[in-house]
Amino acid sequence: MYSQGLIGADGKTDEDEAFLAAFQERIDAEQKIEPNDPMPEGYRKTLIRQISQHAHSEIIGMQPEGNWISRAPTLRRKAALMAKVQDEGGHGLYLYSAAETLGISREEMYQQLLTGAAKYSSIFNYPALTWADIGAIGWLVDGAAIMNQIALCRCSYGPYARAMIRICKEESFHQRQGYEILITLCNGSDEQKELAQDALNRFWWPSLMMFGPSEGQSVHSQQSMLWKIKRFSNDDLRDKFINATVPQAEFLGLKVPDPELKWNEEKQGYDHGDIDWDEFWRVVKGDGPCNRERMRTRRRVESEGAWVREAALAHAQKRAERQAVAPVAAE
């Protein structure tokens, strides 16, 4: 933990106008904010919320894909999927570390996940039903994540921006692998093509929802933009994603499941149909197809692993005690 000596970690920063103005000045000058810099409590809290929920998403995101490791159709695909799930765990670690620089412990964040106080990306509440879903998740879900994350590489908080740079490199690789799965399916048998279309049908809208609610509905958006935690609006990123992804679907010979999707010459982008925001809020609030299962699995893993963590701790203590008693003998 890095909490010691951090200004404002106790929530008692004296946030007078001069302080806030000086902070905004640094932000406007594109200076990165680092862990020991003074920062408004609201900035710290927003970042903790966002980074930790990002970390939680990586951890929960291991479940839908991990679900297919034992059944991947070839050894090459199995190895790639394992590597991907492993990378996700690693991304979780980076992100928890980045959040810890803001004065919260990983354990505390993790408890917030387990109690439901902290959220994770709504997309992982959708099930991975077929092998094609693994391709669709790589292509669409990681694709959407990258749109968000490329923007975050320029986030004003240094540790978060640097974590995103590292994560984006691996994430782009996964996205290409996912797309390649779909290329293979779409060049394959009729059954394989059907699997691919079905996966797109089920993951298209949930992927668009990953960018979050539209401007009017987004509670944190305005302040985050001002502080340059966010660099683009949810809708801007969503549009960018649609514009990049529709030609990829066409290349696959797949149909995007949106009858209102249409190229708009004037804005040089696609118009799309309405997102089902009722579904979005329902899933965010816990009533999606897999919310309960994802959380139940996490809680079960946590409780079943408790004895292992306790043993590791007890052993470390014993070892430290032995070394304290007989420093020479330990050499």
Residue list 5-64, contact with other proteins (CB under 8 A):
59, 62-63
Please say whether the beta carbons of 261 and 77 come within 8 A: no
Q: How far is residue 243's CA from residue 207's CA, in Å, rounded to a whole number?
A: 14
Q: What DSSP assignment string belongs to 93-139?
A: HHHHHHHHTTT--HHHHHHHHHHTSS---GGGGS---SHHHHHHIII
Q: Show the binding pattern over residues 234-273: x = contacts other proteins (CB under 8 A), - = does not.
A: ----------------------------------------
Query: What would the two tokens of residue 295 be?
Result: 């959380």
131, 179, 211, 280: which one binds other proteins (CB under 8 A): 131
Q: Among residues 47, 107, 125, which one has the least CA distance to residue 295?
A: 125
The number of beta carbons lying within 10 Å of the beta carbon of residue 129 is 15
CA dist list (Å): 98 to 35, 111, 161: 9, 17, 9
Q: Which is nearer to other proteins, 91 or 228 (CB)?
A: 91
Residue 1 sits in the site that holds other proteins (CB under 8 A): no
- Strand, helix or coil for residue 74: coil
Residue 296 sits in the site that holds other proteins (CB under 8 A): no
Q: Determine the interface stretch with other proteins among 97-105, 183-191, 223-231, 247-255 (rule: CB under 8 A).
A: 183-191
Q: Determine the interface stretch with other proteins among 12-20, 162-170, 208-216, 310-318 (rule: CB under 8 A).
A: 310-318
Least Cβ distance, residue 194 to other proteins (angstroms) = 11
- The binding site for other proteins (CB under 8 A) comprises 59, 62-63, 66, 69-79, 82-83, 85-86, 89-90, 92-93, 96, 131, 181, 184-185, 187-189, 191-192, 297, 301, 304-316, 318
